[in-house]
């Protein structure tokens, strides 16, 4: 079995075991983008509380977040932790959106994915994982997201030895069809696998992939 066949078999096995994950949680692309920025170094429950504060104030709007006082924004996202730093990052992301799409995120959809990735990576504090999460989950671009769970999954199943972000991303994109749904669902399934079975001390005897 070659690498593409094995990866697709793993995908189908995980999908059957866990079902569709329906990532990323968020009602709008803007909410997904905000979540991707705030989720750094905190739990999703804390992010939900922060986004809830923005919803209560009816601030889930590019123009409103562009105009908001940074100190007020920091206070509203306090539940997400590191709120002063994240407020600056979020402001920078919102500014980039406002200046490049006139406040309408749909205007970014026809833009080349590499140009968008360069734009997000140029923002201080936005690394490849956050940038790619925005591209995939908010803008529907075929980019494979790599995180700590992805690295653990590859290592534990002896699929790929290199640990660099770009190397791992290339491993998936070269061996899988370029498909937004597949990239979205596969990454979400890997996260689910690592949270439940492929832990730091793996539960291999219970793992859905034990026979793959």
pLDDT of residue 22: 86
Kindly state whether residues 83 and 150 are assigned to the same domain: no
Kindly state whether residues 201 and 109 are assigned to the same domain: no
Here the CATH number for the domain that contains residue 199 is 1.10.1670
Spatial CB neighbours of 92, under 8 Å, sequence gap ≥ 6 = 123, 124, 125, 126
pLDDT of residue 1: 84
pLDDT of residue 200: 87
Range of the domain at 113: 29-138
- Round to whole Å and give the CA distance between 6 and 144: 17
pLDDT of residue 27: 87
DSSP code for 163: -
Residue 2 token pair:
């070659």
Residue 76 located in a structural domain: yes
pLDDT tens series, the chain, 212 aa:
899 999 999 999 999 999 999 888 888 999 999 999 999 999 999 999 999 999 999 999 999 999 999 999 999 999 999 999 999 999 999 999 999 888 889 999 999 999 999 999 999 999 999 999 999 999 999 999 999 999 999 999 999 999 899 999 999 999 999 999 999 999 999 999 999 999 989 999 999 999 88
pTM of the model: 0.94
Kindly state whether residues 93 and 174 are assigned to the same domain: no
């Amino acid at each position: 079995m070659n690498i593409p066949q094995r990866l697709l078999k793993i995908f189908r096995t995980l999908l059957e075991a866990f079902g569709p994950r329906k990532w990323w949680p968020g009602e709008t692309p803007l909410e997904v983008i905000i979540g991707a920025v705030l989720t750094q170094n905190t739990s999703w429950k804390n992010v939900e509380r922060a986004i809830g504060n923005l919803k209560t104030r009816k601030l889930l709007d590019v123009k409103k977040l562009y105009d908001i006082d940074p100190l007020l924004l920091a206070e509203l996202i306090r539940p997400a932790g590191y709120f002063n730093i994240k407020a600056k990052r979020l402001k920078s992301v919102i500014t980039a959106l406002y200046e490049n799409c006139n406040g309408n995120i749909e205007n970014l959809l026809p833009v080349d994915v590499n140009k968008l990735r360069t734009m997000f990576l140029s923002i201080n504090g936005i690394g490849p994982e956050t940038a790619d999460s925005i591209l995939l989950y908010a803008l529907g671009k075929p980019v494979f997201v790599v995180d700590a769970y992805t690295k653990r999954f590859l290592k534990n199943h002896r699929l790929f030895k290199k640990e660099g972000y770009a190397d791992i991303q290339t491993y998936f994109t070269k061996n899988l069809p370029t498909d937004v749904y597949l990239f979205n669902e596969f990454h979400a399934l890997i996260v689910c696998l690592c949270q439940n079975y492929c832990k730091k001390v793996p539960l291999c005897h219970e793992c859905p992939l034990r026979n793959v």
